[in-house]
Chains A and B, each alone.
Chain A
């Protein structure tokens, strides 16, 4: 069993599932659903199995598999995971079956599920590819099903949103494609032959500073759009608001993480010198995003748009941690990627449930829901508190590690960024008050309480929110070695010095 190509299967199973679903006759809707569910659960099971088999202290890539693909160009089917990608893979594996089982797209299940599974294959592939070309293929594949999911199952303004999403990401990807080819070609001299292999290029290539910076920015633009980093974020509120609930959950849960993950895996790893050089720019944009996103979220009138803007703020924290370049900050950032997927995913599910019942997401049309649906309100409260970052729940741990880790290398950015926690409380509690508090009016009086099936869908999310908040150690223990390895790589290949851990000062010339 040790030779079982589990990573390859993580891509193939949902891809095959997608084809199967497309082939099954429309006259058997149950068969469609069962096929989709079985393949996604199978994938999820494999991802959990991966987690169980993952060697905690091993900082390198595990479960690797490599097969030649296009030999002449040095392109290979090279897959592997380390602590940075592990939990993103697990999150993807767990999120998809929940979305497929728990969220009803209402029409055309067959095509919807087929796109969903193709999307899963693409996302999985992006997180486990160790070959630049292969990564690019998966990164692009993801666009297509997402475009059709928004365009086909979204709300009123879906075509505009889907097009905007597609164009934004395509333009970013165009830069990255040029960057990938240029990187491979320029690294040819150092590698002896042309290769697109991530590890070979990162370990062997020695770009001139100016070259490295150009190449870094070609990658970074694509990822900054995906994150999204201020000021490239405006596709996100539209895409989120118009996407069907399942699409929003996946978009927030894992798709955005392809950007933050890409910055770490390809940006920082391939071009450490450029990443260090551009720190002030990215730190500043990240902090602007935190504050800007939070303020914009406060003033939204559409509940889903509000959650979308909160994502801009949350993802800003992750980018802050990434470019602070300390062990805690990046480890916290990776954890935050997963946390945000859980909390914001759950928020989108809850907002979706509100829409199902009331056919509106306008905050001003909702009122007093806590009185008629206390359990629903309680679930919303827990998820909201996690998103606010209350300690004891998952959102806090990542945010705290990012901030305390960044303090050593990016102090003044942290001082500003930390005020984002005030704004997070403001926009969520204000929205909560308007939607859940007060006496319900005529339209909201018959708001239905949480159903069993809905509760079952939310339960895993709430369980993870509490568990990761109280006992994040198993997760962090697996992330940190890989992060430390990356940072060692950075300090060896740039003039960046990791901050020394503080030692208690014994005596000081100042007053005692």
Chain B
């Protein structure tokens, strides 16, 4: 079964090719079901590979399947090869699993869109790229997937390209990601220069022998790449804008799968991180913690249902980097998986709300929706409890692991993590109350937002609701994969140990967990007091709503001095570089023009010239040289 690991990405690729050729013929909704089936089949293969891997001993859980030699590099070469090991197959399981659920959801969500089949074309291409990313046995195959998901992200964010904001958001995502890709490329160059190979096994195997400076360079450049893809400070600004894409895209790409690629990469080259000097991991932990807190403060003041979730995603990704920087790779992966469950659930729930509200995204115009959308509301509430860290929901367990690791690394990081947890519980409660509880505010809003007739929110069709229910169940029980009671219940840690090692900790877990639970409950209670009982006035300062004006400052710089500098280069090219060319052209022409006048063809002029020349020569020889 391990040898067919190539089928995992090949099936969505086949789906892409078929939809490319016959998509229009299949149409709405058949193209969607077909695409769903291809990713579903990929999931089935993944499960098969998973069980095959399970049946082996821990040391043997490492299988490389080489398809062909891709790029020869001098005496070395880079293969198009896949690596099936616990880490990659864990990633594949949730990518294909959640991926097929979201495909199914999109059949309902995108119903009626004139470019229905094209949407699934891109979605299958995305699934293929994402699977290449996680299955690649060397950095270059990962990079192929890395850029592939970036391209699909671009295509899908600007899917409704007639809208200028969507087009701009797509471009912004691609270009910002490219800044990160520069880092990824530099990491590859350093690794290849030092190790002579881009294979993960070769790089990780040689990590201990690497000079500390080289390992640090590889780690930090790879981290720049990760910051781009996983939307960390200072490169996060493309992700909130990416919400311009259709909501299934936000759920699949910009919450559950693609944005976790950076975390995956860091876990993949974990040994290199170990070999790098201490400040490298500290930087990663600090950036993660800072991003987590920073984004959480912004989420508190957003009114767009998707923007809240977008900043929440950035914040949760920050948690994962905090875990990576603290050396707790299992915690990072654990949170990545549970986050994929509950954040996909929340996004799809938000999509269901938007669908039911006829494309209304402003939470101030919602309220009391639990009465008309009971399934959406119920599942959304499960997602809320999971992300808020309420036991026994999945998010509690994984977040707790991260906080524990942060506590071991540095108490300040732990405190930042706790504050973030408080804010997370607060803003998510705020969202749930604004959307599903309180007064129904959509009645008084329908006229000004130009809705067609009286706005009647409705529950979504089965294609959309089924994934919600499945994800809600997973968000509820997902924590079971790694329970901290005994070593044997830490199944994920055991499973991943051959790849990422273990994170040792002597800290007592229970007190920390109790503190975390308390903090989460305080956050929930606070939000209830403000938004449900209206005991206090809401604190939503404009600066938070404006995301600390970071984006607008960057945009102002790019549009102002940045653009002027670019204009300056273009001007210099036309006037200085080319000016020199045209100038020398003009000089030649001008001189030639004047010299030409001498050739007047007038004999008297020539005679005069000859005469004066003779006179001058005579003067020279006679007077100055003193001849004669």
Which A residues lie within 8 Å of B178 (CB)?
421-422, 425-426
Q: A295 to B572, alpha carbons, bound, how many Å?
A: 11
**Contact in complex: A501, B196 (CB < 8 Å):** yes
Which A residues lie within 8 Å of B206 (CB)?
504-505
- In the complex with contacts A391-B144, A403-B189, A421-B181, A480-B72 CB distance below 8 A: yes
Which A residues lie within 8 Å of B151 (CB)?
385, 390
> Which segment of B261-269, B462-470, B563-571 sits at the interface?
B563-571
Which A residues lie within 8 Å of B182 (CB)?
418-419, 421-422
Q: Counting CB contacts under 8 A, is A472 at the interface?
A: yes
Q: A511 to B193, alpha carbons, bound, how many Å?
A: 20
Residue from B167, B181, B192, B208 in contact with A437 in the complex, judged by beta carbons closer than 8 Å: B167
**Contact in complex: A407, B192 (CB < 8 Å):** yes
Q: Give the residue among B68, B118, B167 with the most A Cβ atoms within 10 A.
A: B167
> Which segment of A267-275, A339-347, A428-436 sits at the interface?
A428-436
Q: Counting CB contacts under 8 A, is A414 at the interface?
A: yes
**Contact in complex: A405, B209 (CB < 8 Å):** no
Residue from B73, B167, B208, B570 in contact with A405 in the complex, judged by beta carbons closer than 8 Å: B73
- From A436, which residue of chain B is reached at the shortest CB distance? B161
Shortest CB distance A316–B (Å): 14
- From B205, which residue of chain A is reached at the shortest CB distance? A504
Apart from A473-B72, A504-B209, what are 12 other A-B pairs with CB-CB below 8 Å?
A: A331-B72, A368-B162, A392-B144, A407-B192, A407-B193, A422-B178, A433-B171, A473-B70, A476-B72, A502-B195, A506-B209, A510-B212
**Contact in complex: A430, B171 (CB < 8 Å):** yes
Q: Counting CB contacts under 8 A, is A174 at the interface?
A: no
> Which segment of A118-126, A296-304, A453-461 sits at the interface?
A296-304
Q: How many residues of A contact B (CB 8 A)?
A: 71
Shortest CB distance A431–B (Å): 10
**Contact in complex: A512, B208 (CB < 8 Å):** yes
Bitwise interface map of B from 72 to 103 toward A, beta carbon under 8 Å scored 1, else 0: 11111000000000000000000000000000
Bitwise interface map of A from 382 to 399 toward B, beta carbon under 8 Å scored 1, else 0: 000100001110001100
Which B residues lie within 8 Å of A442 (CB)?
none
Which B residues lie within 8 Å of A436 (CB)?
161
**Contact in complex: B161, A370 (CB < 8 Å):** yes
Chain B residues proximal to chain A, CB less than 8 Å: 68-76, 118, 140, 143-144, 147-148, 151, 154-155, 158, 161-162, 164, 167-168, 170-171, 174-175, 178-179, 181-182, 185-186, 188-190, 192-197, 202, 205-206, 208-212, 275, 277, 566-567, 569-570, 573, 577-578, 580-581, 585
Q: Counting CB contacts under 8 A, is A18 at the interface?
A: no
Which B residues lie within 8 Å of A470 (CB)?
70
- In the complex with contacts A328-B74, A408-B193, A433-B171, A390-B148 CB distance below 8 A: yes
Bitwise interface map of A from 480 to 512 toward B, beta carbon under 8 Å scored 1, else 0: 100000000000000000000111111110111
Which A residues lie within 8 Å of B155 (CB)?
381
Within 8 A of B (CB), among A441-488: 470-473, 476-477, 480
**Contact in complex: A438, B75 (CB < 8 Å):** no
Which B residues lie within 8 Å of A510 (CB)?
211-212
Residue from B73, B186, B212 in contact with A328 in the complex, judged by beta carbons closer than 8 Å: B73
Bitwise interface map of A from 51 to 72 toward B, beta carbon under 8 Å scored 1, else 0: 0000000000000000000000
- 9 closest A-B pairs by beta carbon, nearest first, are A502-B196, A437-B167, A299-B570, A234-B578, A504-B206, A505-B209, A407-B189, A391-B144, A327-B74
Q: A368 to B181, alpha carbons, bound, how many Å?
A: 29
Shortest CB distance B79–A (Å): 10
Q: A374 to B360, alpha carbons, bound, how many Å?
A: 28
- In the complex with contacts A429-B175, A477-B72, A403-B185 CB distance below 8 A: yes
**Contact in complex: A295, B566 (CB < 8 Å):** yes
Q: Counting CB contacts under 8 A, is A371 at the interface?
A: yes
Shortest CB distance B498–A (Å): 20
Q: A170 to B211, alpha carbons, bound, how many Å?
A: 52
Which A residues lie within 8 Å of B275 (CB)?
511-512
Which B residues lie within 8 Å of A433 (CB)?
158, 167-168, 170-171
**Contact in complex: B75, A296 (CB < 8 Å):** no
Which A residues lie within 8 Å of B161 (CB)?
370-371, 436-438
**Contact in complex: B148, A505 (CB < 8 Å):** no
**Contact in complex: A391, B143 (CB < 8 Å):** yes
Shortest CB distance A131–B (Å): 31
- In the complex with contacts A407-B189, A510-B211, A438-B164 CB distance below 8 A: yes
**Contact in complex: A471, B68 (CB < 8 Å):** yes
**Contact in complex: B577, A473 (CB < 8 Å):** no
Which B residues lie within 8 Å of A501 (CB)?
74-76, 196
Q: A463 to B174, alpha carbons, bound, how many Å?
A: 24
Q: A234 to B580, alpha carbons, bound, how many Å?
A: 10
| Contact residues of A: prevailing secondary structure | helix
**Contact in complex: B74, A437 (CB < 8 Å):** no
Q: List 16 A-B contacts (CB under 8 A).
A: A296-B570, A390-B148, A404-B188, A418-B189, A422-B179, A433-B171, A437-B167, A438-B161, A439-B162, A476-B72, A477-B72, A501-B74, A508-B209, A511-B212, A512-B208, A512-B275
| Contact residues of B: prevailing secondary structure | helix
**Contact in complex: A473, B147 (CB < 8 Å):** no
Bitwise interface map of A from 161 to 182 toward B, beta carbon under 8 Å scored 1, else 0: 0001001100000000000000
Residue from A168, A391, A473, A502 in contact with B192 in the complex, judged by beta carbons closer than 8 Å: A502
Number of A-B contacts (CB under 8 A): 165
**Contact in complex: A404, B171 (CB < 8 Å):** no
**Contact in complex: A299, B569 (CB < 8 Å):** yes
Which B residues lie within 8 Å of A95 (CB)?
none
- From A329, which residue of chain B is reached at the shortest CB distance? B74
Q: A480 to B77, alpha carbons, bound, how many Å?
A: 12
Q: A421 to B184, alpha carbons, bound, how many Å?
A: 12
- In the complex with contacts A418-B182, A473-B68, A511-B212, A231-B148 CB distance below 8 A: no
Which A residues lie within 8 Å of B76 (CB)?
501
- In the complex with contacts A414-B189, A429-B174, A404-B73 CB distance below 8 A: yes
Q: Counting CB contacts under 8 A, is A248 at the interface?
A: no
**Contact in complex: A508, B186 (CB < 8 Å):** no
Shortest CB distance B167–A (Å): 4
Which B residues lie within 8 Å of A507 (CB)?
209
Which B residues lie within 8 Å of A503 (CB)?
196
Within 8 A of B (CB), among A81-110: none
Which B residues lie within 8 Å of A327 (CB)?
74-75
Residue from B69, B181, B194, B566 in contact with A473 in the complex, judged by beta carbons closer than 8 Å: B69
Q: A235 to B498, alpha carbons, bound, how many Å?
A: 59
Which B residues lie within 8 Å of A392 (CB)?
144, 147-148
Which B residues lie within 8 Å of A233 (CB)?
577
Which A residues lie within 8 Å of B186 (CB)?
415, 418
Q: A430 to B189, alpha carbons, bound, how many Å?
A: 28
Which A residues lie within 8 Å of B70 (CB)?
470-473
Which B residues lie within 8 Å of A139 (CB)?
none
Q: Counting CB contacts under 8 A, is A133 at the interface?
A: no
- From A168, which residue of chain B is reached at the shortest CB distance? B581
- From A235, which residue of chain B is reached at the shortest CB distance? B581
Residue from A421, A422, A438 in contact with B162 in the complex, judged by beta carbons closer than 8 Å: A438
Which B residues lie within 8 Å of A385 (CB)?
151
Q: A506 to B209, alpha carbons, bound, how many Å?
A: 5
Which A residues lie within 8 Å of B212 (CB)?
510-511
**Contact in complex: A437, B162 (CB < 8 Å):** yes
**Contact in complex: B195, A504 (CB < 8 Å):** yes
Which A residues lie within 8 Å of B175 (CB)?
422, 425-426, 429
Q: Counting CB contacts under 8 A, is A326 at the interface?
A: yes
- In the complex with contacts A422-B179, A425-B178, A437-B161, A391-B147 CB distance below 8 A: yes
- From A504, which residue of chain B is reached at the shortest CB distance? B206
Q: Counting CB contacts under 8 A, is A292 at the interface?
A: yes
Shortest CB distance A502–B (Å): 3
Which B residues lie within 8 Å of A298 (CB)?
566, 570
Q: Counting CB contacts under 8 A, is A317 at the interface?
A: no
Q: A264 to B123, alpha carbons, bound, how many Å?
A: 44
Which A residues lie within 8 Å of B185 (CB)?
400, 403, 418, 421
Which A residues lie within 8 Å of B167 (CB)?
433, 437-438
Which A residues lie within 8 Å of B578 (CB)?
234
